[in-house]
Amino acid sequence: MAALITYGAMAALIMSGRMELAVAGTAVVAVRSGSASLGALVMTTNSLHEESLYVRDMERFLTEAGNRSIPSGGLPLPEPTKVITLERVSFSYPGRETPALAELSLTIPMGSVVALVGENGSGKSTLVKLLAGLHLPDSGRLAWDGVDVAEADREQIFDRVSLLTQDFERWPVTARANIEIGRPDAADGDLTAAARYSGADLIAETLPKGFDTLLARVFRGASELSGGQWQKFGLARAHYRDARMIVVDEPTSALDPGAEIAAFDRIRGLADERRAVVLVTHRMSGVRYADLIYVLHEGRLVEQGDHESLLAAGGRYASMFHMQAEQYGHGAGAGTGVPHQGGSAPKPT
């Protein structure tokens, strides 16, 4: 509208002889240039205002993260650790009224395989984040041999926890570095033992330069691995890290049935007198051999025990187990508890 009024006034001045045509042409160019500059200024101001809102959110998030994080330089953790305990732990995400975890109490003894079972949204992932030290409980107590994580040394917590998830990082470096990156500061880490334990050593034998082969197609002469092969390297990385608690989340999503059975055997074999394995999976065939099974529902612990006792109870775990077993046509005898022919799980060397 302003431009239309301006051009109308200029036309009137030209028609009345008060403005020469050359001056009018110069004025038109000046008006257009000024309008473009003014428009760019308005857009830049709007963009700057929007970005300032993001910066304000970032500052608020950083402040909130600092309030919720484990402090640096806290109490040392006991060595060796014997048990990790949760006592009436509750946790809610900011902006949500319903708690992700409510009054949760359980124990994770060293030397055991503990399985977390439940539907999507039951609180398994949130519990894993608390165990890994990524969040602190809103209330209750999470402790390593009596040392509350809210008062513990953050670096020691992170050093003693290892995560093996279905979407672990696939680094575009050598096969050797993909395993050793689990503990890059280890001077005496046994790469051979870790690779042999997971089966990654057999994969490395097929690579052009063995463990020195680059694992990324973007490099000349490099190789790429399949999803199942990458998961074996992920398991080797977890073994090499030598953490006190290994959290395993859906570790066999890319494996065939035979490889899946072998992978669960190896994962269970990671548990020893100084190490516990926390297994999160929807594949009940792997859960049944856990020492302890905790069943979560809507953030609460509703059942606990081993496979046989939970089946006998006929509750939520039994329902989920039989529902999955029926997909294979074995619903009637799925709970026999007879171990598979693979025998006992191997122990790490």
CATH number at residue 220: 3.40.50.300
CB 278 within 8 A of CB 114: yes
Q: What is the pLDDT of residue 335?
A: 45
Higher per-residue pLDDT: 22 or 56: 56
**In angstroms, rounded to a whole number, what is the distance separating the alpha carbons of residues 242 and 246?**
9
Q: Are residues 228 and 257 in the same domain?
A: yes
Q: Are residues 52 and 101 in the same domain?
A: no
Which residue blocks in 119-169 are alpha helix, DSSP H?
124-131, 154-159
Q: Are residues 41 and 163 in the same domain?
A: no
Q: Sorting pLDDT into bands at 50, 70 and 90, what band is 142? A: very high
Looking at the structure of the chain, the number of domains it has is: 2
CB 46 within 8 A of CB 53: no
Tell whether 219 is covered by a domain.
Answer: yes
- Most trustworthy range by pLDDT among 29-38, 124-133, 226-235, 248-257: 124-133
Q: Are residues 6 and 135 in the same domain?
A: no
The per-residue pLDDT for range 313-338, each reduced to its tens digit, is 999 999 988 888 787 665 444 444 44
Q: Are residues 18 and 93 in the same domain?
A: no
Q: Are residues 134 and 27 in the same domain?
A: no
Tell whether 336 is covered by a domain.
Answer: no
Q: Are residues 32 and 93 in the same domain?
A: no
Pull the structure tokens for residue 254.
């890319």
The per-residue pLDDT for range 260-311, each reduced to its tens digit, is 777 778 888 888 888 999 998 877 877 888 999 999 999 999 999 999 999 9
The per-residue pLDDT for range 61-78, each reduced to its tens digit, is 888 777 767 667 788 998
Q: Are residues 62 and 89 in the same domain?
A: no
Tell whether 116 is covered by a domain.
Answer: yes
Tell whether 74 is covered by a domain.
Answer: no
Q: Sorting pLDDT into bands at 50, 70 and 90, what band is 348? A: very low
Q: What is the mean pLDDT of residues 102-108?
A: 95
Please report, rounded to a whole number, the percentage of residues in the chain having pLDDT higher than 90. 32
Strand-strand pairing, 101-109 and 83-91: antiparallel
Tell whether 337 is covered by a domain.
Answer: no
Q: What is the mean pLDDT of residues 79-89?
A: 93
The model's pTM = 0.71
Tell whether 24 is covered by a domain.
Answer: yes
Q: What is the mean pLDDT of residues 203-220?
A: 88
**In angstroms, rounded to a whole number, what is the distance separating the alpha carbons of residues 33 and 25?**
12
Q: Sorting pLDDT into bands at 50, 70 and 90, what band is 133? A: confident
Tell whether 341 is covered by a domain.
Answer: no
Structural domain including 30 reads 2-68
Helix axes 2-15, 21-68, angle to 10 degrees: 170
Q: Are residues 177 and 52 in the same domain?
A: no
Q: Are residues 59 and 107 in the same domain?
A: no
Q: Are residues 30 and 121 in the same domain?
A: no
List Cα–Cα distances, 126 to 26, 112, 132, 168, 289, in angstroms: 67, 21, 10, 18, 23
Q: What is the pLDDT of residue 338?
A: 40
Mean pLDDT score of the chain, rounded to an integer? 82
Tell whether 102 is covered by a domain.
Answer: yes
Q: Check residue 255 and report its DSSP letter.
A: -
Whether omega for the bond prior to residue 80 falls within 30 degrees of 0, making it cis, is: yes
**In angstroms, rounded to a whole number, what is the distance separating the alpha carbons of residues 100 and 111?**
28
Q: Are residues 37 and 186 in the same domain?
A: no
